A = this chain, B = another copy of it.
Amino acid sequence: MDSAISQLSCEYHDLNGSHIDVLEQPPTALEFSRLVHISRPVLIRGAQISSVRFWDDEYLAATMGEAQISVAVTPNGRADAVTRSPDGRLYFVEPCVEKMNMSELLSKLSCETEDSDICYLQSQNGNVYSTRFFQGISDPSEFEPLRPDIPTEISWCSEGLGKSPDAVNLWIGSHKSVTSIHSDPYENIYTVVRGSKHFTLLSPTDGRCLRERMYPHGTWTRAGTGLTLTPSRNIPPIRWSSVVDPDVPGNLPPEAHPIQVTVEAGETLYLPPGWLHHVRQSDNTIALNWWYDMEMRGMSWIVLSFLRGIGDVPSGNDEAASENAQAEEFL
């Protein structure tokens, strides 16, 4: 099985190379449909959303007012990531979610010090528009005041796919927040509004390069002024990559074919389903993304599932795995 996937991966890279296409203007719906069939990332310029183009801290704070928003808080900027606990074990740790208003978030982001907790607005649950919105059901959003600025859908994508988005999210963070490498089973249109995002991308055929392990689940919880890694009681172990930072030379195996792409303000990344991505960002970065359900009919889903592999995934806390864990440095 492993050698079958390894062969498929070699042939994929021989045929497709390690570059992505850049469009200087947004595709038509038909052109986008063809891109979906090719299923490789594309950087799209000239698709700025005029209504969010001039968002600044003052406007955001004034528009949002006292509305409470859910912010991911961690001591290390790594929400949803593998981290070593003081008990010596590695956990997949979800952030502490704390409520604050926009002004407080922006202030915390601009005043981060070496010791402060790291905030990242990354709620990912359709925080601007969720599935309910597109189903015509009541869909309250913490970002209601900003909704008039945020398009519900991307026309060439909705028309190309023949469907509405599944979720639309707002992301606001600093260079201290990093998203660990993972993939989503969605068509993803990711627009940077301010700042820049740096993606390290791996094709679905490189999934085996992630050295996935099973990690017990934990959550950062507020205990007094500090955050404590609290093991979860009733959440089963999480399958996650043991490669903490794929940008560090040697962290990925030599057979991996990472693609680096920086998405600047006003640019949009089309990220197809199953593509692995690790994301860094500059300070004061704001982004929006539109997730659309992928086409389940045909081969796409089956092949992604096949490439994820089957069989037992070893524990991330086995002695050998643990020794090599790159999570060490983030204690």
Instruction: Give me the interface of A with B, judged by CB distance under 8 Å.
Output: 1, 3-5, 7-8, 11-12, 15-16, 29-31, 33-34, 36-40, 159-162, 204-205, 295-303, 305-306, 310
Q: Give the distance to chain B from A163, nearest Cβ to Cβ, in Å.
A: 10
Provide the residues of chain B in CB contact with A1, threshold 8 Å. Answer: 1, 3-4
Are B40 and A159 in contact, with the CB atoms below 8 A? Answer: no
Say yes or no: A11 contacts B297, CB within 8 Å. Answer: no
Could you tell me the distance in whole angstroms from the C-beta of A309 to the nearest C-beta in chain B?
10
- Cβ-defined partner of A295 (8 Å) among B4, B5, B31, B37: B37
A37 B300 Cβ-Cβ under 8 A = yes
B160 touches A15 (CB 8 A): no
Main secondary structure of the interface of A (DSSP, over half): helix
Closest to A307 in B: B299
Nearest B residue (CB) for A203: B299
Bound complex: CA of A12 vs CA of B296, how far in Å? 10
CB-CB under 8 A from A160, the residues of chain B are 30, 33
B162 near A16: Cβ-Cβ < 8 Å: no
Contact A302 B11, CB 8 Å, known A1-B3, A3-B1, A297-B40: yes
The interface residues of chain B lying within 8 Å CB-to-CB of A297 are 15-16, 38, 40
Q: Is the CB of B306 within 8 A of A16?
A: no
Which chain B positions have C-beta within 8 A of A298?
Answer: 16, 37-40
Given A30-B29, A30-B159, A37-B36, A11:B299 Cβ within 8 A: no
Q: Given known contacts A15-B302, A34-B161, A37-B295, what 5 new A-B pairs fall within 8 Å (CB)? A: A1-B4, A8-B306, A12-B302, A38-B295, A299-B303
